């Protein structure tokens, strides 16, 4: 594939971008370097996401905020992440996976650092919304990059392990918050986020874009330049060349449109629960269970460590047992366990409850990246999963503010039940309607304009069923 990619690039008369025609640089171990790049990027992402959660109590005191206003900071962050993820998915397909990751890290690192200089609630909320654009585009870009580098047989194991990068970031943020906030205040916590920007720019120079993306992109450029269907493309007479509009390609294809809408809805409920917990669990422990801040950070480190294990085991289980069954188990189990924390916690068992919960709520995120990536073809994959996941995140942006309103009305009991309900719905939708392994991300597949009936006829699914236009 690599030599064909390099040779194909030479048939174009126009100069290629520097990240195209470089598939010959991909060796047997390149995926490992790409993994390190994506993993560290997700660590940085996780740190940035959790800094706000651990700063909420300090921000409420500094700016005199109500619980609703504090929740709105989380909601504005999620709204920015949603819009950033949608544009980031498009950037992945347009400019490349590696470039999107690197510039996303640079952008949100700088913007988060600036938050330390804000003087009003309004300044903080606006800058957080803008900076979250970079956060939103990073998650799916990292997962798309690795999905296209790793073979199907152990893809979810690797991507599940990759998800632990974000959780490691949560632990780093927890330790930083415990060390910095009590002695130096919340502002210093945000100042240190400028450091990762240099890392991203350095790594970008050493990692080629995945061969499947390069091959598909070069083929699209050839079609655009010559305005004809090349003979190298095995394609039926009724199939048209892809439209210039990626979203038009997605929504004009019946199965892609269906999968997009189903994943968007699933993502909305999944992230409502996930970010509701992430934003408010530290506050719940601090205010409802009367934990001091340093004890709280210790408990959260335990929960996040268990989450790492949950993601790795989920990835392995998904490769052995299937993406769908593992994802559904994780979401439904999380839904069932949230009320347990509220109704059955005691000073003696709260640590065990948080560790168990951390393990369970890590499972869906150990699976969903691979599950989604294998739902769409290469030419639209970044836009489709970025758009579906982040339009869902836009819906979930109401979670922090909603949970804040419910909690302000009395206690966190109803708030946690609502979050559990969201997790349950997030499991039911893919369990009933989204089959797994529809495309192989290592193949440079292009969608056809010919709709095919791929409705789920039974629970027994053949792996790697593809409706592709294969680029030779």
Residue 295 has a pLDDT of 78
Q: Is the predicted pLDDT of residue 455 greater than 60, yes or no?
A: no
Using left for φ > 0, alpha for ψ between -120 and 50, and beta otherwise, residue 233 falls in beta
How far apart are alpha carbons 51 and 33 in whole angstroms? Answer: 28
How far apart are alpha carbons 58 and 186 in whole angstroms? Answer: 7
Q: What are phi and psi of 470, to 5 degrees?
A: -85, 125
Per-residue pLDDT reduced to its tens digit, 20-71: 888 888 888 888 899 999 999 999 998 988 888 888 888 988 999 887 888 8
Q: For residue 446, list its beta bridge partners.
A: 469
How far apart are alpha carbons 123 and 173 in whole angstroms? Answer: 23
Q: How far from 65 is each of 15, 113, 128, 181, 414, CA to CA, in Å?
A: 54, 22, 16, 18, 22
10 Å CB burial of residue 409 (0-12, 13-18, 19+) is exposed
Helices assigned H by DSSP within 374-460: 381-396, 398-408, 413-433
Per-residue pLDDT reduced to its tens digit, 120-151: 999 999 999 999 998 888 888 898 899 888 88
Q: If you write DSSP's letter for every residue of 250-282 in order, what string do you get?
A: HHHSHHHHHHHHHHHHHHHHHHHHHHHHHHHHH
Q: What are phi and psi of 145, to 5 degrees?
A: -55, -50
* H/E segment holding residue 176: helix 155-184
Residue 104 has a pLDDT of 93
Per-residue pLDDT reduced to its tens digit, 160-173: 889 889 889 988 99
Contacts of 152 (CB under 8 A, 6+ apart): 374, 437, 440, 442, 463, 464
Per-residue pLDDT reduced to its tens digit, 366-410: 899 889 989 998 888 888 988 898 888 776 778 877 877 887 766
Contacts of 347 (CB under 8 A, 6+ apart): none
Q: Check: CB of residue 294 under 8 Å from CB of residue 178.
A: yes
Residue 276 has a pLDDT of 83
Rg value, the chain, Cα: 22
Instruction: Name the residue ranges covered by the structural domains of the chain.
Output: 25-470
Which residue is listed with tokens 């669990």? 281
Give the 3-state secondary structure of 44-68. Answer: HHHHHHHHHHHHHHHHHHHHCCCHH
**pLDDT tier at 13 (50, 70, 90 boundaries)?**
low
How far apart are alpha carbons 393 and 259 in whole angstroms? Answer: 16
Per-residue pLDDT reduced to its tens digit, 88-104: 888 888 889 999 999 99
Q: Check: CB of residue 418 under 8 Å from CB of residue 409.
A: no
The angle formed by the CA atoms of residues 448, 450 and 453, to the nearest 5 degrees, is 115
Show the tokens assigned to 156: 């979810």
How far apart are alpha carbons 359 and 311 in whole angstroms? Answer: 8
Q: What is the CATH number of domain 25-470?
A: 1.20.1250.20
3-class secondary structure, 469: strand
Q: How many residues belong to the chain?
A: 472
Q: What are phi and psi of 471, to 5 degrees?
A: -85, 125
Q: Check: CB of residue 361 under 8 Å from CB of residue 334.
A: yes
Q: Check: CB of residue 395 under 8 Å from CB of residue 272.
A: yes
**pLDDT tier at 459 (50, 70, 90 boundaries)?**
very low
pTM: 0.72
Q: Is the predicted pLDDT of residue 312 greater than 70, yes or no?
A: yes
Share of the chain above pLDDT 70, in %: 86
How far apart are alpha carbons 342 and 281 in whole angstroms? Answer: 11
How far apart are alpha carbons 339 and 413 in whole angstroms? Answer: 8
Residue 469 has a pLDDT of 41
């Amino acid at each position: 594939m690599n030599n064909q990619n390099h040779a194909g690039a030479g048939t174009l008369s126009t100069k290629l971008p520097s990240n195209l025609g470089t598939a010959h640089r991909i060796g047997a171990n390149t995926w490992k370097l790409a993994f390190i790049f994506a993993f560290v990027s997700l660590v940085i992402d996780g740190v940035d996401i959790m800094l706000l959660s651990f700063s909420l109590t300090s921000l409420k005191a500094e700016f005199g905020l109500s619980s609703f206003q504090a929740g709105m900071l989380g909601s504005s962050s999620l709204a920015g992440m949603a819009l950033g993820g949608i544009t980031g998915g498009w950037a992945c397909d347009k400019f490349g996976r590696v470039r999107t990751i690197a510039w996303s890290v640079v952008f949100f690192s700088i913007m988060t650092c600036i938050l330390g200089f804000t003087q009003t609630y309004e300044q903080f909320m606006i800058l957080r919304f803008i900076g979250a654009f970079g956060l939103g585009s990073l998650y799916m870009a990292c997962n798309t990059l690795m999905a296209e580098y790793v073979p199907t047989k152990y893809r979810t194991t690797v991507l599940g392990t990759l998800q632990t990068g974000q959780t490691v970031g949560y632990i780093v943020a927890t330790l930083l918050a415990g060390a910095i906030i009590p002695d130096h205040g919340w502002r210093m916590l945000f100042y240190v986020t400028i450091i990762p920007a240099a890392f991203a720019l350095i790594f970008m120079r050493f990692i080629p874009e995945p061969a499947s993306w390069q091959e598909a992109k070069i083929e699209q450029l050839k079609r655009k330049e010559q305005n004809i269907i090349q003979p190298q493309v095995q394609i039926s007479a009724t199939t048209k060349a892809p439209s210039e509009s990626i979203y038009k390609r997605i929504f004009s294809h019946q199965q892609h449109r269906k999968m997009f809408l189903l994943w968007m809805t699933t993502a909305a409920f999944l992230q409502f629960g996930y970010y509701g917990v992430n934003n408010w669990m530290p506050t719940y422990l601090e205010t409802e269970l009367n934990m001091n801040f340093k004890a709280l950070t210790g408990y959260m480190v335990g929960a996040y460590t268990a989450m790492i294990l949950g993601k790795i085991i989920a990835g392995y289980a998904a490769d052995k047992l299937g993406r769908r069954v593992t994802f559904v188990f994780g979401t439904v189990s999380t839904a069932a366990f949230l009320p347990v924390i509220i109704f059955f916690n005691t000073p003696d068992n709260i640590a065990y409850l948080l560790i168990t919960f951390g393990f369970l709520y890590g499972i869906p995120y150990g699976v969903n990246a691979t599950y989604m990536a294998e739902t769409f073809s290469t030419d639209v994959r970044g836009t489709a999963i970025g758009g579906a996941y982040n339009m869902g995140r836009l819906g979930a942006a109401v979670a922090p503010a909603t949970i804040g309103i419910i909690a302000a009305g009395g206690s966190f009991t109803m708030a946690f039940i609502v979050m559990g309900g969201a997790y349950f719905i997030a499991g039911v939708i893919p369990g009933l309607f989204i089959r797994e392994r529809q495309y192989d991300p290592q193949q440079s597949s292009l969608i056809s304009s010919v709709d095919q009936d791929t409705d789920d006829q039974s629970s027994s699914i053949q792996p790697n069923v593809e409706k592709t236009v294969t680029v030779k």
